[in-house]
């Protein structure tokens, strides 16, 4: 899977990566961060299990990250 | 556009068990929708296309649109809609085949911010379908 960004960084002088590309939509980036934090830090499933399933999913989908 | 509030949405019902997570998920979806480059028609068409791929059909497509999309015939759609639908069609099972020129077409149509909004939306349309399949919505 390609990991070469196809959208330029929204922050001048910084390379394109997940964060700098998502910065094109600041409110989306903020809300995603809040959602992601809630998902990872709260709930009954341990972070270890979440991380294990995240890695497994990444292997299956051939995620470049 | 808030597809979480559709009737019969299995995932939506289950998410009510986690009110804080639901609130933040809704806020995230609203942030995607509240952009000034991608209109509701584009979001709606793309969501329906992804649902059609996963479920075999979508209640949010007219019959003529559904048939055209099944056939891969896009000429009844506007140029912007075609660009969006081509990428939407890749997301469920062809994400590794997404071409640079297909993303470039999104940037041309919607600008960088619109492209990012749309690609984010497409990913979560896909998530929503997969979660509904997991939690019990029947496949046609």
For A35, the closest of B28, B34, B104 (CB atoms) is: B28
Rounded (5°) CA angle B79-A7-A30: 105
Q: Does A20 touch chain B (CB under 8 A)?
A: no
Two structure tokens written together for A13: 């002088």
Partner A, chain B 13-52, Cβ-Cβ below 8 Å: 18, 20-21, 24-25, 27-28, 30-32, 34-35
If pLDDT is split at 50, 70 and 90, which confidence band does A38 have? very high
Q: Residue B133: helix, strand or coil by DSSP?
A: helix
pLDDT at B79 over 90: yes
B49 alpha-carbon distance from chain centroid: 7
Are A32 and B117 within 8 A, CB to CB? Answer: no
Closest by CA position to A34, among listed B5, B2, B25: B25
- Which pLDDT score is estimated for B112? 96
- The secondary structure of chain A, three-state, reads CCCCCCCCCCCCCCCCCHHHHHCCCHHHHHHHHHHHHHHHHCCCCCHHHHHHHHHHHHHHHCCCC
Residues of chain A positioned with their CB less than 8 A from the CB of B35: 25, 28
Max alpha carbon distance in chain B (Å)?
43
- Which pLDDT score is estimated for A64? 74
Per-range mean pLDDT, top range of B32-36, B56-60, B78-82: B78-82
For A28, the closest of B20, B21, B117 (CB atoms) is: B117
Residue B86 · residue B74 · CB < 8 Å:
yes
pLDDT > 70 fraction of chain B, expressed in percent and rounded = 91
Q: Where are the alpha helices (DSSP H) in chain B?
A: 10-15, 19-33, 40-55, 63-71, 79-90, 100-135
Owner of token pair 């075609």: B82
pLDDT at B131 over 70: yes
- Which pLDDT score is estimated for B1? 47
pLDDT > 90 fraction of chain B, expressed in percent and rounded = 69
pLDDT at B43 over 50: yes
Q: How confident is the prediction for chain B on average, in pLDDT?
A: 88
Rounded to an integer, what distance in angstroms lies between the CA atom of residue B123 and that of residue A55? 18
Owner of token pair 């999913």: A57
Partner A, chain B 102-121, Cβ-Cβ below 8 Å: 103-104, 107, 112-113, 115-117, 120
* Sequence-distant (≥ 6) Cβ neighbours of residue A5 within 8 angstroms: A16, A17, A21
Q: Does B124 touch chain A (CB under 8 A)?
A: no
- Which pLDDT score is estimated for A13? 96
pLDDT > 70 fraction of chain A, expressed in percent and rounded = 94
């Amino acid at each position: 899977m390609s990991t070469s960004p196809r959208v330029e960084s929204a922050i001048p002088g910084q390379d394109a990566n997940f964060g700098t590309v998502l910065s094109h939509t600041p409110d989306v980036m903020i809300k995603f961060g809040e959602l992601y934090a809630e998902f990872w830090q709260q709930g009954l499933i341990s972070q270890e299990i979440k991380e294990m399933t995240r890695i497994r999913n990444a292997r299956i989908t051939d995620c470049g990250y | 556009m808030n597809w979480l509030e559709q009737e019969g949405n299995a995932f939506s019902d289950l998410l009510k068990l986690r009110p804080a997570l639901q609130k933040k998920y809704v806020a995230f979806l609203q942030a995607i929708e509240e952009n000034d480059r991608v209109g509701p028609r584009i979001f709606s068409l793309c969501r329906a296309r992804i649902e059609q791929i996963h479920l075999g059909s979508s209640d949010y497509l007219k019959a003529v649109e559904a048939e055209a999309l099944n056939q891969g015939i896009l000429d009844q759609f506007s140029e912007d809609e075609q660009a969006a639908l081509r990428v939407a069609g890749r997301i469920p099972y062809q994400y590794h085949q997404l071409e640079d020129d297909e993303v470039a077409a999104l940037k041309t149509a919607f600008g960088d911010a619109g492209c990012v909004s749309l690609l984010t939306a497409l990913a979560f349309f896909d998530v929503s379908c997969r979660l509904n399949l997991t939690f019990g919505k029947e496949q046609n």
